[in-house]
Structure 1
Amino acid sequence: MSSLLPIVSLLLTIVVSLIVVRVATHALVLTGLSQQLARFQARSAFTGAGFTTSESEKVAKHPVRRRIIMLLMLLGNAGIVTAVSSLMLSFVETGEGVTGTLTFRILAMVVGVTILWLIARSPWIDRRTTETIEWALKRWTDLEVRDYSSLLHLSRGYAVVEFSVEEGDWLARRRLKELKLPDEGVVVLGIQRSSDEYVGAPLGRTELVPGDVLILYGPKEILENLDRRRQGSAGNWDHHKAVDKQREKEAEESLMHEASPQEQGIE
């Protein structure tokens, strides 16, 4: 049995590595990354592949994600060295005599790795592992720190602003469904009432009154125009121009999407 100890050590190293990568993946997801991107970055850091992409820059600029990646790099180096050492020892004869043939050792290692691979690919185990890891991370860490600036693309012409509704504003004393702000590319995230009531994700029937503070998300230039917009024909005209501009933008994006080689299967 002593000759199998290095193989057991190798399999345990692989198990620990899979768990570490899985935990790191869900930790990155809690900071705002997508599941696919988080998995790619976790595996890249753990294996030391070091891909240089725009997504990697986002990870490096985020303090929490950067700490996770640095820890993965350290654990990855230790894990790879341990795995290689165990693999070499698996095929080195000891002085106590041969207790198993080379074929038996290779077979034991292949069977063990195959079983681990099947377990890692199991959807049921993946769901249960995901639930357990997410519960543990939320229970014992404060990793739920979203990079909202990156998520909302605030550096690409979009902004989140607070907008105070005053008497005479184009928005004042009108319902959201009448304003049709989404047609301009503007989303009302919430309303802080003067009575300290907060309305999150308000519905179309919600009426805006002077004293309300709106939290708006949309293109910067549209938000700036909305801040200056007053009641009357001039305000309505600004609304129509903003709607036309948003439609032109959507049409351009649609054309770009249709012309994309990937979408048409052209390499």
Structure 2
Amino acid sequence: MNLFFLLVYFIIITAVIEIFVILFRLTDLKLEVSRFQVISLMTGTGFTTGESELILGHPVRRKLATFLILFGAFSLAVIISSISTILSDDLQTKEILYAAGAVLLVFAILKLKIVQTKLTKLFKQDLKQNIELGDLPIRDIFMSEKQDQLLNLHIYKESSLFHKQINQVIHDYEQLEFVVLFILRGELKLRKNIYHTKIHEGDQILIFGEKDVISKLFKNDIQIMEEKLKDSQHTPISEHQLSQ
């Protein structure tokens, strides 16, 4: 009886994992990241990876994560209790099957396209109504459209922007679908007159705009940066630096 209970409970846990993978995906989290983080939250292992910031920085995901942590702790207690009473007949098969059926029903409902669409709208509405912009992850703020791109452009001596101003290289920048957010020079962030500031070697220019436009305008500089970064272990600009 107890072995049967453990089997059914394992099915329940698996179904809960899949349910929350779907829910996390509805908040625009990638499938592989969703599954790993759901399992990590339930088991209390591996959640300290860098990807956990995608959960902690998103209000809806934090609520889902809270439930998973509590469910994981409860599940461990149930499994330990079941093993300790392996010789008893206290467990009721009917109630176990009802619980498993209910979880599987929720999973089946969440697989419906119409339900996923409504939940996605609900999650986004919750963000708009209750969350400050500064509380959202960078990806949710900037990457709202397929063509959006956030480029951290490293400048070298070979770069076309080196020792020049942006307005000297791109004359009609005000009419194009991109904007320079700031220039990172060491620990200093330059936010004033950035289009008229002479670019130095080692500068990092944070550019946001349409992907095709950025790729075309900064094609040579991007190629140079990619070649240089291949031969180094330079750490790209972080979300922490962006928030300062």
TM-score (norm: length of structure 1): 0.46
TM-score normalised by length of structure 2: 0.49
